[in-house]
A and B are shown apart, each in its own frame.
Chain A
Amino acid sequence: MKTLVLVEHDNTKLNDATLPVVTAASKLGEVHLLVAGHNCGSVAEAAAKIAGVAKVHVADDPAYAHGLAENVAPLAAGLMADHDAFLAPATTSGKNIAPRVAAHLDVMQVSEILSVEGPKTFTRPIYAGNAIATVESTDAKLVITVRGTAFEKAASEGGSAAIEAVSGPGDAGISSFVGAEIAKSERPELTSAKVIVSGGRALKDAETFEAVITPLADKLGAAIGASRAAVDAGYVPNDYQVGQTGKIVAPEVYFAIGISGAIQHLAGMKDSKVIIAINKDEDAPIFQVADIGLVADLFTAVPELTAAL
């Protein structure tokens, strides 16, 4: 089987989210990568170095600069004439593009796989991860998104794949990129961080969240996450949301501070190795999954903890 993996990147750097997808693809067959971008040569070079990759297809065109699904999906669908499976990370950009590729190919996508059980059989979470379905595709080709936390990252060095230029239909002329507000941060990225400190509704407002959560995260070199309630209330940006409908994380240590533990939140973090919860309500559901729990008022406990570390 020949697979085609959509590489996630910003035209200069390859995003690590690609690496677990390479691992998943290698369980199916030969791994080819697709780098669709503009002036993205450095990404193609990095992609060729990933261990286990046989070929890198590079489509360099202004139409692909911002990963617009309307332009990238027909390109990928075209390349699928010579491939059997298309895989993308279950990131916002993978989720945006892959189903569009699937529809072009008349294939039912298998979303957010957790494991490869056979050439056409996969497990995937449904109902906020409260059930795990094992599904077998009957389509001639496969279109798959991959949950990054469920697969080891492929080594980013060690490969020497051939790089081949490809071209597609280019600009479909129905959509355009206007702008982006992407926050730059010195902190580790949420989905790849070893330690995450997350805050919930209890943090009151943006200033309090910053004053209580940030110093602890700084001490631990941690990424910062949040519950939906904290995001909705504007304490932190949208992309901090951990959960069923936000980011899926599985760090070594996850701190849930002033978070009740709704099933939608648990769906995003219950695969963390160690969960530490601080909540003043001893019956909060978060304690049912926490390895270490402290029943306390976070406004005294967190500063004390920070000071003692």
Chain B
Amino acid sequence: MKILVPVKRVIDYNVKPRVKADGTGVDLANVKMSMNPFDEIAVEEAIRLKEKGAATEIVAVSIGPAKAQETLRTALAMGADRAILVETDEEVEPLAVAKILKAIADEEQPGLVILGKQSISDDSNQTGQMLAALMGRPQGTFANTVEVDGDSVVVKREVDGGLQTVKLALPAIITTDLRLNEPRYASLPNIMKAKQKPLSVKTPGDYGVDIAPRLKTLKVAEPPVRQAGEKVADVAALVEKVKALGLA
């Protein structure tokens, strides 16, 4: 079984995003960029499934600028076998990303597609679900545990009240949650080896997908800023404050 793992290049999670002064977006110039953390979890899960013998090949895909090659090399260094970059400098919305991934899945015929549940940039949380709908296949979103079992996969999902377990017929789409695994770091030898692994470059046009945005961004603004309040001297003072709030 082949596993397809889409990965996105995003602002590093340790960086505090700043809104551009002209209100057109978030300033990404000279900002550290990394693989979306949920996608690292997706790559890790694919590798573990391969190590367990449940998968034979891992194909990493990224849709984005030329620099997303770095993100794909990271996936290859972690253990993906080959990579596809669908290169574009445009911002591609989740729906268009899902359409491109659908076209790639038609070619590659993966048994599983494992994606992050959301990117920490756009916070949309929709690409995996959209891909599943376009492919007409089941989805195990917010995965906490994944177990391939013959021609199906059992996914334990992180849901609002706790955990839910579903059984999905393969091929299936999985989106990762934080507790699924702890991604490995690529070792130096593996980073070197990753440079030799195949990486093909395509364009959205190669897949016949129109990436024109459906949502027009009119403005991007700072959220209301919260002012720091006061520090109290001791517990007794805190008790007074808490009582004043009517809490006790």
Contact = CB atoms under 8 A, between A and B. Distances in A.
B178 A103 contact: no
Nearest to A295: B231
Interface string A294-309: 1110000100110011
B13 interface: yes
Interface stretch (B54-62, B72-80, B195-203, B239-247): B239-247
Which of B133, B165, B220 has its CB near the most chain A CB atoms (within 10 A)? Answer: B133
A81 interface: no
Nearest to B16: A263
Interface in A125-167: 125-139
Interface of chain B, helix or strand or loop or mixed?
mixed
B209 to A, nearest CB: 12
A245 B166 contact: no
Interface residues of B, number: 83
Interface stretch (A19-27, A35-43, A170-178, A204-212): A170-178
Interface residues of A, number: 92
Which of A180, A245, A291 has its CB near the most chain B CB atoms (within 10 A)? Answer: A245
B144 interface: yes
Contacts of A295: 231
Contact of B238 (A93, A133, A275, A305): A305
Interface in A85-102: 91-93, 95-102
A258 to B, nearest CB: 15
Nearest to B118: A245
Contacts of A131: 17, 19, 25-26, 220-223
Contacts of A274: 245
A73 B141 CA distance: 14
B122 A126 contact: yes
A178 B154 contact: yes
Given A102-B95, A244-B120, A138 B138 contact: no
A121 interface: yes
Interface of chain A, helix or strand or loop or mixed?
mixed
B242 A276 contact: yes
Contacts of A110: 215
Contacts, number: 269
Which of B118, B124, B177 has its CB near the most chain A CB atoms (within 10 A)? Answer: B124
A76 B226 CA distance: 39
A234 B137 CA distance: 33
A195 interface: yes
Contacts of A241: 178
Contacts of B192: none
Contact of B126 (A99, A175, A195, A237): A99
Interface of A: 66, 68-70, 73, 91-93, 95-104, 106-112, 121, 125-139, 172-183, 191, 195, 219-220, 228, 231-232, 237-239, 241, 244-245, 247, 252-253, 263-264, 270, 274-276, 278, 282, 287-296, 301, 304-305, 308-309
Given A108-B213, A129-B223, A179-B165, 12 more contacts: A69-B141, A91-B160, A92-B159, A93-B159, A100-B132, A109-B130, A128-B17, A174-B137, A175-B169, A178-B165, A245-B178, A293-B228
